[in-house]
Amino acid sequence: MIHSKNRNKGYTLIELMVVVGIIALLLGLSLNGLNNLIQWNKLNVAAALLSSELKNTQSMAFYEGIYYKIDFWESLDRYRIYKQKEVYYEVYKDIQLEDIDLFNTNYTDDKVYFYPNGVPSMGGTVTLKNKRGKILYVIMTPVTARVRVSPEPPENW
């Protein structure tokens, strides 16, 4: 057998295409997982923010001795916090949810009031949903206004 001395040492086109295909497949799978992670994080952040705002509003009503109101707008994916000023309410804070759907509330007229002693007008649940359909419930108990975030709906639903 005669061996050629001009033999090129390299990869064939098929070998390169296989490697590029494997890299593309791995990249596609990791981007999908990364997108799921980002959507789940946005949902957790929105639920934590709402939970924090409910607790903060209760505290402000108690310490200032005035009425506060939170108005939920499901169609706009936003909620507003109002502060009592003599005979009317003024907007204290306006929160627009980004990439999160304010799916449902079970508050009467989508409003909850905090009395000057810090007690809420009622307990209730706000349902938040992300683009992937994952749901978190922000649940506030009546009287004590204890707030928790749960992936499961409250027992009384």
Domain ranges (residues) in the chain: 13-150
Q: For the chain, what percentages of helix, strand and coil (3-state, to nearest 5) are there? A: 35, 30, 30
Write out pLDDT tens, residues 140-157. Answer: 999 888 999 999 998 876
Is the pLDDT at 138 greater than 90? The verdict is yes
Write out pLDDT tens, residues 3-48. Answer: 656 666 778 899 999 999 999 998 888 888 888 899 999 999 999 9
| pLDDT > 90 fraction of the chain, expressed in percent and rounded | 75
Phi, psi of 93 (to 5 degrees): -155, 140
Cβ contact 120:135 at 8 Å: no
Is the pLDDT at 117 greater than 70? The verdict is yes
| Architecture in CATH of 13-150 | 3-Layer(bab) Sandwich (3.55)
